[in-house]
Amino acid sequence: MSITVREPGCRAAPVADASSRMAAHAPNALGLIPPRPPARPRRRSAALAAIVAIALTAGGLAMRFALPHSVEQVPVLPQTFSAEVLAPATLEAERRANIAMERTGRIAALGAAEGDVVAKGDVIARLEAEDLAAELEAAEATEQAAQLGVTMAEAEKARADATLSRVTGEEARKRTLVTRGVVSTAGHEVARAALDEAAADQTRAEAALARARSDADAAAARTRVRRAQLSDTVIRAPIGGVLVEQPANVGDTLSQGAPIATIVDPKTLVFTAMLDESAVQHVDVGQTARIAPAGSGAPIAARVVRIGRTVEEGTREFAVDLAPERVPARWAMGERARATVSTGTRSGVLAAPSGALAPRDGVQGVWIANQGRLSWRPVTLGDVTAGAVEIREGIAPGEVVALTDRAFERMRVVPADGPVAGRDG
């Protein structure tokens, strides 16, 4: 029995009666009687679980070792082997022009855009040149004035030459008359003085003409300089080809040496492949190759046109240039590709499919199928070709390799086209 007490503004709360208080002080509530221990699991359930576990383990072992797995098996036999070297490559150009600023200036206009085909001499860009145009005009005016000075000096020299010639004849005539007594000595002295003065005038005229010509030459040189500077503001293509790069924009102020554009001749495109140094003895100019550009399913036939003679220190690779037989319909400088260089054909070579290789801890090896069981064996590799690799050591002719990436020692196998009780994977 309980009594409910309600106070104003409060929720009613039950009040325990005497029987409830007595139950709270019972011995078990006071901890005088220990709790009942949990029930023990039945022995029959434990035995059943153990039997199930053993059965599952036995079944798993049976599936792993007893039931055969279907895998592709290939015998390794002597064959004619076309050795190939595989390497990454990038698209480059043998004929390439990097155009740079020859003087500091601001870009006033662009004559071509990236991707345009340009001819040699086409305008690529123009620089602002109002100041240079004014300087050229002033230089040309100075040159014209200097040329006029030369003309006047030549006229003065001609007059002096004529005067000297006249007074020379006059002096000679009077000297003859003095010897005959027709003219007095004083008359001859007057003619001699006139001759000396004429000779001095001629000397001065020659000096003035030389000075005028020198001034004209200097003025002409200044004009040529101004004209060349003005010509430098018009940037032209040094070769014909495709404009593949143009970092400059109209309004940019560029310093001397800053890049403006890059032009390549598409007829000289090559794929530069980086080969491991171990291939140095096998690659030669004229060998055939295949180029597989990134994202393209159609390989391009090519040939080796140049072999680098320097091995990079870090990668231990050397460069080989491959000229494609045709220019790709779409291309971009620096695009990546896969190059396959055919380095020769040999007969009687033991070769296995590339898919049979199963490296373990950095050691190349294969899975050998013998009497329906697999065992791993290390091998020594040689040259490679499309889909196959030469086996130099580790396999005898006629032995069978398995093409699987999920194998283990003593795994039971059957050929992929035979009856199977279990399938690999």
pLDDT in the model for residue 27: 47
Is residue 15 pLDDT above 90, yes or no?
A: no
What SS3 class is residue 320? strand
Q: What is the DSSP letter of 330?
A: S
Q: How would you label 278-294 residue by residue, b for 16+ Cβ within 10 Å and e otherwise?
A: ebeebbeeebebbbbbe
Which has the closest alpha carbon to 127: 294, 256, 312, 290? 256
Within 27-129, residue ranges assigned H as helices are: 43-61
What is the reported pLDDT for 191?
Answer: 78
- pLDDT, residue 184, reads 75
Under CATH, which number does the domain 69-83+346-423 receive? 2.40.420.20
What pLDDT sits at residue 107? 93
- As a whole number of angstroms, the distance between CA 402 and CA 416 comes to 10
Range 184-188 average pLDDT: 76
Question: Which candidate, 169, 227, 226, places its Cα nearest to that of 194?
Answer: 169
Of 207, 206, 201, nearest to 167 (Cα)? 201
pLDDT of residue 352: 92
Residue 100, pLDDT > 80, answer yes
pLDDT interval class at 333 (50, 70, 90): very high
Are 125 and 260 within 8 A, CB to CB? yes
Distance CA 188, CA 91 (A): 94
Averaged pLDDT for residues 351-360: 91
Q: What is the pLDDT of residues 205-230, one digit of tens each?
A: 999 999 999 999 999 999 999 999 88
Residue 295's pLDDT is what? 75
pLDDT value at 14 more than 60: no
pLDDT confidence of residue 54: 64
Give pLDDT, residue 164. 85
Percent of the chain with pLDDT over 90: 52
Distance CA 107, CA 88 (A): 39
315: exposed, middle or buried (Cβ count in 10 Å: 0-12, 13-18, 19+): exposed
Q: What is the pLDDT of residue 185?
A: 78
Which residues does 197 contact at the CB level (< 8 Å), separation at least 6? 167
Higher model confidence: residue 329 or residue 233? 233
- pLDDT at residue 12 tops 80: no
The region of weakest confidence among 172-186, 253-267, 383-397 is: 172-186
First to last CA, the chain: 73
Q: Are 191 and 183 in contact (CB under 8 A)?
A: no
pLDDT attached to residue 7 = 41
Longest dimension (CA), the chain: 188
Give the CATH number of domain 87-92+265-343; options: 3.40.50.720, 2.40.30.170, 3.20.20.80, 2.60.40.10.
2.40.30.170
Please name the amino acid found at residue 210: A
- Cβ contacts of 300 within 8 Å, gap of 6 or more: 290, 291, 292, 293, 324, 325, 326, 328
- Give the residue-averaged pLDDT of 220-242: 92
Average pLDDT, the chain: 83
Fold designation for 96-128+234-263? OB fold (Dihydrolipoamide Acetyltransferase, E2P) (2.40.50)
Of the candidates 232, 242, 289, the one whose C-alpha atom is nearest the C-alpha of residue 262 is 242
Q: What is the per-residue pLDDT for 48?
A: 67
